[in-house]
Chain A
Amino acid sequence: MLPHLHQPFHTWPPYAQATAWILAITLTLIICVALLTLWERKVIGWMQLRRGPNRVRILGLFPGLGQPFADVIKLLMKEVIVPQRSNKWLFRLAPLIALVPAFAAWAVIPLSPTVVVSQADAGLLYLLSLTSMGVYGIIIAGWATNSKYAFLGAMRSAAQMVAYEIAMGFALVGVLMATGSMNLGTIVRSQAGGPLTWNWFWLFPLLMVYFISGVAETNRAPFDVAEGESEIVAGFHVEYSGIAFALFFLAEYANMILISALTAVFFFGGWQGPLQGYPGLGQTFLGAPSFGWLLLKVFCLVFLFLWFRATFPRYRYDQIMRLGWKALIPVTLVWIGVEMLLAHWHVGPWSH
């Protein structure tokens, strides 16, 4: 039976519980995005032997910690310029459309053994459908701007996302085969044991495909041709300023956290701890599954996004397409075949 112990609010009626959790998750995510932008600039700074932001302080302490908040205030104060010949209504709507899927997807992600907003049985399909809707914000923005640069960015991004969604979906088919469920809670529970019973071990090629596609889906470096500063200025958000730009920014970083969380859930056991069942640890943090482990895994995976950005040069557009269609999709298809054999011989996740 699925648990429904939303602990902190468990005496409230169900709809109030759900609303409270949705608010709590959304606000936490926004704060996380703010801190992530700072962390990104710091990390890339250190990798390039710079200091990164170190001026704006909070309460005179923690140099640099106030930077994201100062940036947000600056962006809020700036004018939102709407180009004269643009499609004004869609131009204003696009950032909101980009933002919604990034947040709505968190509804089905199991945060800890007892906390998940919705235990939908089609959770995995729900996630796929939401990530595929993320492209609309970008296409609409690119078209409504009525500028060649923005439109090129939108077209690139649309083609890229449609291509990588397929690889992503196939990688998730492999996860589905290994766990036998589309419910994310069940997927996490079925990986119980230790690091070697987590899906990454038997589905390693699929993990690679999933994470690479995830980087491409979020339009992050080295797949950021939708923005491509050196070729098409800033791509789909070239004419966006002020808070409208901030919303695109928020969506991009929320998507990064989302993809990291999904990778953690599908391949690294979500909230499962790596030392579960070891004698002497009992119900301490090390021995028990908890939200802390998920947080730790998400943090490490998000770090990879930043590391990639500081390391890899941008792909050429035709090579992006080639990688998606001719490298990643065949890998997933082959590995689904391998999984069939593993299941036949009762190896790995199929041994019991």
Chain B
Amino acid sequence: MSAGVLVQGLFYAFGTVLVLGALGVIGARNPVYSALSLVLCFVTAAAIWLLIEAEFLAVVLVLVYVGAVMVLFLFVVMMLDINLAELRQGFTRFAWLGCVTALAVIFEIAGVVWARGTLGVDAARGPVPTAPNYSNTLELGRVLYTRYAYPLELAAMLLLVAIVAAIALTMRHRVNLKQQDINAQVAVRAADRLRIVKMDPEPRP
């Protein structure tokens, strides 16, 4: 069995899992199952990216989305008491909108695949295999920190502003809020809290 067939077989295997996972995200009754299906989707998408030798993107997808974003998602979803009946109320009313959106996306993907096929790019084969000592991570870093250094920094600043804004918007100052002063707690000494009194066990005669 050649490596190409193996890679193709793996691609279809991961692809199947990915599609099933995506169906699980929208089909699962329990939101926690939906979130876990999304995690499965991210992991299999990362595996597919590994097949086309985009190891940096694959690892970062797992690191950022699976490792951080989805943990917080799960965190919230598990604590929410979601009323499923209420969520499903508008289903038939908005079903047509969902169908149209889905059709548009399918049409776009089909268009790209068709265009690549007619323009002579074999979409199923993927990019040309790279040399064994080629490092995807190194190349990306080289481009990001030289040619695109300023756009990268700008994007980072934008994210920072978004973080600060999100925190500033959600921070509430309640009146009469009791807070702990940790420095005072750490600085406390036994003599501040405790006074040892010497006294006789019983009155002297």
Task: Say yes or no: B182 contacts A139, CB within 8 Å.
Answer: no
| B32: A residues at CB distance < 8 A | 143
Question: Measured between C-beta atoms, what is the minimum distance from A278 to chain B in Å?
Answer: 34
Is B135 among interface residues, defined by CB-CB distance under 8 A?
yes
Binds A, one of B54-62, B119-127, B148-156, B190-198: B54-62
Contact pick for A318, options B60, B72, B180, CB 8 Å: B180
Task: Say yes or no: A162 contacts B68, CB within 8 Å.
Answer: yes
- Complex: how many Å from CA A319 to CA B182? 8
Question: Chain A, 111-125, contact with B by CB distance < 8 Å: what is the 0/1 string?
Answer: 000000000111001
- Complex: how many Å from CA A148 to CA B162? 35
Is B157 among interface residues, defined by CB-CB distance under 8 A?
no
Question: Measured between C-beta atoms, what is the minimum distance from A154 to chain B in Å?
Answer: 8
Contact pick for B67, options A139, A154, A165, A182, CB 8 Å: A165
Question: Chain B, 98-142, contact with A by CB distance < 8 Å: what is the 0/1 string?
Answer: 000000000000000000000000000000000001011110000
Question: Chain A, 156-196, contact with B by CB distance < 8 Å: what is the 0/1 string?
Answer: 00110110010000000000000000100000000000000
Is A208 among interface residues, defined by CB-CB distance under 8 A?
no
Question: A133-B67, A136-B71, A319-B182 in contact; A121/B59 too (CB < 8 A)?
Answer: no
Question: Chain B, 36-49, contact with A by CB distance < 8 Å: what is the 0/1 string?
Answer: 10010000000000
- Complex: how many Å from CA A161 to CA B72? 11
Question: Measured between C-beta atoms, what is the minimum distance from B105 to chain A in Å?
Answer: 28
Interface residues of A in 24-65 (CB under 8 A from B): none
Task: Say yes or no: A139 contacts B71, CB within 8 Å.
Answer: yes
| A122: B residues at CB distance < 8 A | 55-56, 59, 136-137
- Complex: how many Å from CA A269 to CA B75? 38
Contact pick for A322, options B39, B79, B133, B182, CB 8 Å: B182
Contact pick for B63, options A90, A120, A128, A154, CB 8 Å: A128
| A69: B residues at CB distance < 8 A | none
Contact pick for B62, options A1, A133, A318, CB 8 Å: A133
| B71: A residues at CB distance < 8 A | 132, 135-136, 139, 158, 161-162
- Complex: how many Å from CA A316 to CA B60? 33
Task: Say yes or no: A121 contacts B63, CB within 8 Å.
Answer: no
Contact pick for A162, options B72, B136, B138, CB 8 Å: B72
- Complex: how many Å from CA A128 to CA B56? 12
- Complex: how many Å from CA A155 to CA B74? 10
Is A140 among interface residues, defined by CB-CB distance under 8 A?
yes
Residue of B nearest to A126 (CB): B59
Residue of B nearest to A135 (CB): B71
Residue of B nearest to A154 (CB): B78
| A133: B residues at CB distance < 8 A | 62, 66-67
Question: Measured between C-beta atoms, what is the minimum distance from B159 to chain A in Å?
Answer: 14
Task: Say yes or no: A125 contacts B68, CB within 8 Å.
Answer: no
- Complex: how many Å from CA A126 to CA B50? 12
Is A151 among interface residues, defined by CB-CB distance under 8 A?
yes
- Complex: how many Å from CA A159 to CA B71? 9
- Count of A-B contacts judged by CB separation below 8 Å: 67
Question: A155-B75, A322-B182 in contact; A125/B138 too (CB < 8 A)?
Answer: no
- Complex: how many Å from CA A182 to CA B67? 19
Question: Measured between C-beta atoms, what is the minimum distance from A96 to chain B in Å?
Answer: 14
Question: Measured between C-beta atoms, what is the minimum distance from B145 to chain A in Å?
Answer: 13
Task: Say yes or no: B56 contacts A155, CB within 8 Å.
Answer: no
Question: A143-B78, A318-B180 in contact; A132/B60 too (CB < 8 A)?
Answer: no
Question: A133-B66, A133-B67 in contact; A121/B75 too (CB < 8 A)?
Answer: no
In the complex, which of the residues B60, B71, B135, B182 has the most CB atoms of chain A within 10 Å of its own CB atom?
A: B71
| A121: B residues at CB distance < 8 A | 55, 135-138
Question: Measured between C-beta atoms, what is the minimum distance from B141 to chain A in Å?
Answer: 9
| B180: A residues at CB distance < 8 A | 318
| B59: A residues at CB distance < 8 A | 122, 125-126, 129
Question: Measured between C-beta atoms, what is the minimum distance from A255 to chain B in Å?
Answer: 15
Residue of A nearest to B140 (CB): A122
Question: Measured between C-beta atoms, what is the minimum distance from A301 to chain B in Å?
Answer: 24
Question: A125-B137, A129-B66, A133-B62 in contact; A120/B75 too (CB < 8 A)?
Answer: no
Contact pick for A158, options B56, B75, B182, CB 8 Å: B75
Residue of B nearest to A155 (CB): B75
Question: Chain A, 307-328, contact with B by CB distance < 8 Å: what is the 0/1 string?
Answer: 0000000000011001000000
Q: List 10 interface pairs A-B (beta carbons < 8 Å), by A numbering.
A: A121-B136, A122-B55, A129-B62, A132-B63, A135-B71, A136-B71, A154-B78, A158-B74, A161-B71, A162-B68
List 19 extra interface pairs beyond A135-B71, A159-B75, CB under 8 A: A121-B137, A121-B138, A122-B136, A122-B137, A125-B59, A129-B59, A129-B63, A135-B67, A136-B71, A139-B75, A140-B36, A143-B74, A154-B78, A155-B75, A155-B78, A158-B74, A158-B75, A162-B68, A322-B182
